[in-house]
Amino acid sequence: MSPSISSFHSFHVQQVCFAFVILLHVITPTPLIATAIKSTGGNETDRLALLAFKQKIMYDPQGVVSSWNDSFHFCEWDGVTCGRLHSRVTVIDVGSRGLVGTLSPYVGNLSFLRGLRLYNNTFKGEIPPELGRLFRLRELRLGNNSFEGGIPATLSRCFELKHIGVAYNNLIGKIPTELSSLSKLTYLAVHVNNLTGELSSFIGNLSSLKTLSASCNLLEGAIPDALGQLRNLTELGLGENSLSGMVPFSIYNLSTLTVLSLSDNQLHGSLQPGIGMMLPHLQIFEISRNFFTGVLPLSISNLSELITLQVGFNNFTGKITINFGGLKNIRRILLYYNKLGSGEPDEMNFMSSLVNCSNLEYLELTANLLRGILPNSIGNLSSKLVVLLVDQNFLFGTLPSTICNLENLRTLWLYYNTFRGIIPTAIGNLKKLQRLALNTNDFSGKIPNSIGNLSLLLGLYLGNNRLEGTIPSSLGNCQKLLTIELFENNLSGTIPIQIFRLSSLSIELSLSQNHLSGTLPSEVDNLINLATLDISINNLSGDIPNGLSKCTSLEFLHMEGNSFHGSIPASLRALKGLRVFDLSRNNITGQIPEFLGQIALTSLNLSFNNFEGEVPITGVFTNASVISVAGNSRICGGISELKLPRCAIKKSKEVKMSLAHILIISVASILVGITLISSFVFCWVKKKRKAPSTGSQMEEQFLRVSYQRLLKATNGFSPDNLIGAGSFGYVYKGIFDQEGSTVAVKVFNLLRHGASKSFMAECETLRNIRHRNLLKIITSCSSVDFQGNDFRALVYEFMPNGSLERLTDTFQSSSNGIRGTIGYTAPEYGLGSEISTDGDVYSYGICLLEIMTGRRPTDGMFRDGINLHSLARMAIPDNVMEILDQVLLNNNEEEVDATENMTRQCQNRANKMKEFMVSVVKIGVACSMESPQERMDISNVVHELESVRDKLLQH
């Protein structure tokens, strides 16, 4: 298995927009003379317009517009600038002030307005067409808000406009052709909106245009030839649209271009051989994810100002002939996923020219057709290099130990090549390494102990090589590891106990197909976050440890092809998330446990063991195509497709009940109980009081958040914001602009089985959430990302100090930081666990307690850690009567006095009734334990209830 490349590259894709936007910020506003003359005159229209502007602001955290009052002339109001002579408003500048509201159309009355700067706020609603009346307007900066609707065509009347910035909004419709009249426009930024239609040739009329940024929209059609008329254009960003056709030759006439960003479109054709001469000032050249063909022109060597060369995911072919030596500023060379390579012996020579690129940070050659060796000079690459990817090529030879000089490397991928020889000991020098992928090569020798120095390592991929010796115990020092893959090597000896203490492991631990011996130690119980454990095809022996039942995040458990013996521990019933369980080719004895039928397994292989007795016939056992029990000579029964012999003595058939049955029976029990209570109440209680209905309505309002906003908040899901990962996906730290609040964004990996379901369950549950100690969900996002994939995320309050990582990685419900009742739903659902019968048991328990106490779990009295469950638990056994619903009985003194002349029989029944009540409350408490493991088993619940009922009915 290879490390997931897609997440990595999508990071760069997202940079298409961002890299560009950053450059745009360099442009500074036209300086306007700020004046603040005290004036008694002033124009009433302006004053009214400003007050109307103020009135539409709903939230003003910095008190900007709330200070706008008649104590001061409006020319002195915060953010307002007036003309020196006429005292009319010339500029409104309230950018980045956290404002939330809409933009009043009255602004169209500020006829002297030259600058309207509202960027980085949360203005919603339409951009008022009245702005078209501002014939003196030069600067319109509305970027990074939540404006909706179209770009008003009336702006075409603002002939003085030089700057239109409406990027990062929710605008729809076309870019209005009317704007072609704006002959003074130098800057037009509409990126990150939902604009549609073609980029029409009117753009060619905007003869002053220097910047055109329209990336991240839904534009289609061809790039208009007329763009070539914009002789002043320096920045052209059209990435992440649906543009098609070839790049018009006229673009190459734009000799002043510094940014040309066309990534993520459907463009085809080849690059002009003379590009390096024609566009000599290019700094950012991004054309990834298109259908470009042909060679990378040699003339790229002339682009001496180039910072980013991003041509990944195209069909470029041939030898890399570029001499990078003259590209002194280059930081990112991203050539991945092409067909570059010629097979000529000198085709890796371009590497030596890279030595001169002292600013290089990213070198990504993944998935090309490169043949050759990595030269020793690789150690002389820029010390700033953080990512070096040469995986999925045809590279061979040994790994030069000089590579270990690149001490800022965070990611080193060499996988899927044919490198041979040892892994250099000096690898331990790469102290910043987070991902090391050497898998599927011909590496031999030992795994160096020094690997334990890589304390920041998240993923170690060494599978499918010829590594030998033992697994270094020093790996236990790498306490951030999420994944270890060592499969298909010649490793021997026991598995160091230190590996099992890495509770960070949450994605995969794969040691399969080695010669490992010894037992699976009980310390495996630390791997509480792990989704995949594969120790198959080794020489492991001993019992299956009970501790495995603590690994409740497990989805894939492969133990086949070893010599495990003993029976399957009953405690493994806790592994509710298990999907694939392979225990074949061991020496396991005993019965095939019934509980396997209650786990939603999609594949179960128990073949070639020593199982005996009856094969269950529920759950996974009903589908012969996903189970295998072959090669167990002493088993019988099962579904007929298994063609097993009948079992000689049929055991008394266990009553198998669906939850519905159980509920019916238990409700019936309760009803029986209540009926008896009622008759009892007849002789004991006279007055009947209704419990006060305090159940306050709890309706959390979940505002949906857009993908774009999450993208913004997390810096484009930047790896720097990554704070955790687990089998469900990733968690990023994010900052929401307008509130400035720090959040945790949990992004579900929908390719993983069950993630979508888990998202839905989590949403549903958290809709009803009511507990102060539980992390508060702020919002959710169910959308489509820029690649058209489904995208699901939940946004939580951010909890620093790693407690959040427990929420994301750990779904074990005994975790310390998180406890509590969420209405009727099990706490673990709130933490992302899948729907399970344990959760139903919880809900049932809460229902039971509600019936008994007459209080809803959402009752206002429950706060500060007290909830329905803890209330009931504390009352057991002596104070149970105190918490019972007054409807059922009334135990105040007065009433007790009134019962003095009760009959003896009545007293007996009263005692019985108390017993009954205590038992039922006990069951309610046992069912609603916070931790699923501690909860009562549903079959015991039924048993208990029946015996309680029977006892009661004996008289």
Ligand X SMILES: *[C@@H]1O[C@H](CO)[C@@H](O)[C@H](O)[C@H]1NC(C)=O
The residue within the footprint of ligand X, chosen from 2, 55, 67, 205 (CB under 6 A), is 67
**Residue 776 annotated as part of some ligand binding site:** no
Print the binding letters for residues 822-851 with ligand X: x by CB under 6 A, - otherwise: ------------------------------
Q: Which of 290, 269, 271 is nearest to 282 (CA)?
A: 271
- Distance CA(285)–CA(308), nearest Å, equals 6
Print the binding letters for residues 466-505 with ligand X: x by CB under 6 A, - otherwise: ----------------------------------------
- Distance CA(368)–CA(313), nearest Å, equals 10
Q: Which residue, 63 or 865, is less far from ligand X as judged by CB? A: 63
Question: Dihedrals φ, ψ of 339, to 5°?
Answer: -125, 40
- Distance CA(838)–CA(811), nearest Å, equals 14
Q: Does 359 bind ligand X (CB under 6 A)?
A: no
Contacts with 262 (C-beta within 8 Å, 6 or more apart), sequence order: 223, 238, 239, 243, 247, 286, 287, 290
| Min dist. Cβ of residue 678 to ligand X (A) | 59
| Min dist. Cβ of residue 119 to ligand X (A) | 7
Q: How many CA atoms does the CB half-sphere of 809 hold within 13 Å?
A: 26
| Min dist. Cβ of residue 81 to ligand X (A) | 18
Q: Give, in order, the Cα–Cα distances in Å from 120 to each of 93, 117, 646, 722, 736.
A: 11, 9, 74, 24, 11
Q: Which two tokens stand for residue 841?
A: 């048991």
Max Cα-Cα span within the chain: 111
Q: Which two tokens stand for residue 569?
A: 């521990």
- Distance CA(784)–CA(711), nearest Å, equals 12
Contacts with 354 (C-beta within 8 Å, 6 or more apart), sequence order: 324, 333, 360, 363, 381
| Min dist. Cβ of residue 603 to ligand X (A) | 24
CB 891 within 8 A of CB 882: yes
Q: Which residue, 122 or 338, is less far from ligand X as judged by CB? A: 122
Q: Which two tokens stand for residue 56?
A: 């539409």
Other CB atoms within a 10 A radius of the CB of residue 941 amount to 22
The residue within the footprint of ligand X, chosen from 712, 733, 856, 922 (CB under 6 A), is 712
| Min dist. Cβ of residue 70 to ligand X (A) | 7
The residue within the footprint of ligand X, chosen from 6, 358, 383, 587 (CB under 6 A), is 587
Q: Which residue, 106 or 862, is less far from ligand X as judged by CB? A: 106
The residue within the footprint of ligand X, chosen from 4, 45, 55, 208 (CB under 6 A), is 45
Q: Does 891 bind ligand X (CB under 6 A)?
A: no
| Min dist. Cβ of residue 781 to ligand X (A) | 17
Q: Which residue, 110 or 578, is less far from ligand X as judged by CB? A: 110
Print the binding letters for residues 720-739 with ligand X: x by CB under 6 A, - otherwise: -----------------xx-
- Distance CA(864)–CA(771), nearest Å, equals 9
| Min dist. Cβ of residue 637 to ligand X (A) | 22
Contacts with 71 (C-beta within 8 Å, 6 or more apart), sequence order: none
Of 1-9, 103-111, 264-272, 474-482, the segment contacting ligand X by CB under 6 A is 103-111
The residue within the footprint of ligand X, chosen from 106, 112, 680, 796 (CB under 6 A), is 106
Q: Does 215 bind ligand X (CB under 6 A)?
A: no
- Distance CA(534)–CA(559), nearest Å, equals 6
Other CB atoms within a 10 A radius of the CB of residue 381 amount to 22
Question: Dihedrals φ, ψ of 490, to 5°?
Answer: -115, 35
Of 65-73, 518-526, 809-817, 851-859, the segment contacting ligand X by CB under 6 A is 65-73
Q: Which residue, 458 or 606, is less far from ligand X as judged by CB? A: 606
Print the binding letters for residues 507-546 with ligand X: x by CB under 6 A, - otherwise: ----------------------------------------
Amino acid in the structure at residue 712: K
Of 104-112, 303-311, 392-400, 797-805, the segment contacting ligand X by CB under 6 A is 104-112
Q: Does 563 bind ligand X (CB under 6 A)?
A: yes
Q: Does 144 bind ligand X (CB under 6 A)?
A: yes
Q: Does 589 bind ligand X (CB under 6 A)?
A: yes
- What is the total count of residues that contact ligand X (CB under 6 A)? 23
Q: Categorise residue 98: left if φ over 0, alpha if ψ from -120 to 50, beta otherwise.
A: left
The residue within the footprint of ligand X, chosen from 30, 35, 69, 696 (CB under 6 A), is 69
| Min dist. Cβ of residue 57 to ligand X (A) | 14
The residue within the footprint of ligand X, chosen from 3, 108, 239, 719 (CB under 6 A), is 108
Q: Does 105 bind ligand X (CB under 6 A)?
A: yes
| Min dist. Cβ of residue 562 to ligand X (A) | 10
| Min dist. Cβ of residue 74 to ligand X (A) | 12
H helix or E strand, kind and range, residue 703: strand 703-704
- Distance CA(327)–CA(305), nearest Å, equals 7
The residue within the footprint of ligand X, chosen from 48, 664, 698, 866 (CB under 6 A), is 48
Pair type for strands 211-213 and 235-237: parallel
Pair type for strands 211-213 and 187-189: parallel
Q: Which residue, 736 or 748, is less far from ligand X as judged by CB? A: 736
- Distance CA(602)–CA(580), nearest Å, equals 6
Contacts with 623 (C-beta within 8 Å, 6 or more apart), sequence order: none
Of 64-72, 278-286, 431-439, 769-777, the segment contacting ligand X by CB under 6 A is 64-72
- Distance CA(940)–CA(955), nearest Å, equals 24
Secondary structure of residue 811 in the 3-state scheme = coil
- Distance CA(414)–CA(420), nearest Å, equals 11
Q: Which residue, 94 or 923, is less far from ligand X as judged by CB? A: 94
| Min dist. Cβ of residue 67 to ligand X (A) | 4
CB 330 within 8 A of CB 364: no
**Residue nearest to ligand X as judged by C-beta position:** 737
| Min dist. Cβ of residue 566 to ligand X (A) | 8
| Min dist. Cβ of residue 96 to ligand X (A) | 5
Amino acid in the structure at residue 870: S
The residue within the footprint of ligand X, chosen from 10, 96, 425, 623 (CB under 6 A), is 96
Q: Which residue, 48 or 698, is less far from ligand X as judged by CB? A: 48
Print the binding letters for residues 735-764 with ligand X: x by CB under 6 A, - otherwise: --xx--------------------------
Of 105-113, 263-271, 522-530, 810-818, the segment contacting ligand X by CB under 6 A is 105-113
- Torsion sign, CA atoms 458, 463, 466, 468: positive
| Min dist. Cβ of residue 217 to ligand X (A) | 15
Q: Does 336 bind ligand X (CB under 6 A)?
A: no
Amino acid in the structure at residue 916: F
Q: Does 120 bind ligand X (CB under 6 A)?
A: yes
Q: Categorise residue 74: left if φ over 0, alpha if ψ from -120 to 50, beta otherwise.
A: alpha
Q: Which residue, 43 or 669, is less far from ligand X as judged by CB? A: 43
Question: Interface residues for ligand X in 156-185 (CB under 6 A)?
Answer: 168
Q: Does 71 bind ligand X (CB under 6 A)?
A: yes
Preceding amide of 224 cis, omega within 30:
no
| Min dist. Cβ of residue 552 to ligand X (A) | 29
Q: Which of 899, 916, 901 is nearest to 951 (CA)?
A: 916
Amino acid in the structure at residue 911: N
Amino acid in the structure at residue 144: N
Residue positions forming the annotated binding site = 746
- What residues form the annotated binding site for ATP? 746
Instruction: Enumerate binding residues for ligand X (CB under 6 A).
Output: 21, 45, 48, 67, 69, 71, 96, 105-106, 108-109, 120, 130, 144, 168, 563, 565, 587, 589, 610, 712, 737-738
